[in-house]
Every structure is written in C-alpha cells, then in structure tokens.
Amino acid sequence: MERPVKFEHTRFLGDKRTQLVYDLDTWTESGIIDEIVAEGVGLCFGPDTLAEARNRGYSLAAVGDKRRLRKPRA
C-alpha cells in the first residue's frame, strides 16, 4: 500500500478515535487509512516503533478489528 502524503515518513499510524495503530508496511486495506487521513485523526509516533505506540495505549490493528469510535481528545 502507498503511504499517505502526510505520513510518508512514518511506518505506524495511530487512529485517535479507536486507539488502534496500523503498520503501513503490512496493511492492505487503504479505505481505513484514507478515512483516518481525511478526518484528521491520525497520529504518528516518535520514535516510529510499535513499542512507542503501545506505550501510549495503542494496540496493533488486525484485519476485521472493530472498536467503538470515540471523539478524539486532542
């Protein structure tokens, strides 16, 4: 999958509404990523690692994962 322009230098993209993190190197469904970017609820991590995403309370998304969408706090 091609990375979004805003997140072209990141591997892990977090969704503030669901607290899920997407690995852009392995993720194949572009619809979810496009929705995150369009609504402006994406978050990148520094350093760009899964460990940092988990440190902030995010969990790795898997195909078919469903979570309740919440309003982002920040």
User: Are 1 and 63 a contacting pair, CB within 8 Å?
Assistant: no
pTM reported for the whole predicted model? 0.86
User: Are 28 and 17 a contacting pair, CB within 8 Å?
Assistant: no
In DSSP terms, 42 is beta-bridged to: 15
- Per-residue pLDDT, averaged over 9-25, amounts to 94
Which residue in the block uniquely carries the two structure tokens 């998304």? 61
| Pairing state between β 59-60 and 12-15 | unpaired
pLDDT at 74: 61
| Pairing state between β 59-60 and 20-23 | parallel
Map out the domains of the chain as residue ranges. 5-60
User: Are 74 and 40 a contacting pair, CB within 8 Å?
Assistant: no
pLDDT at 58: 94
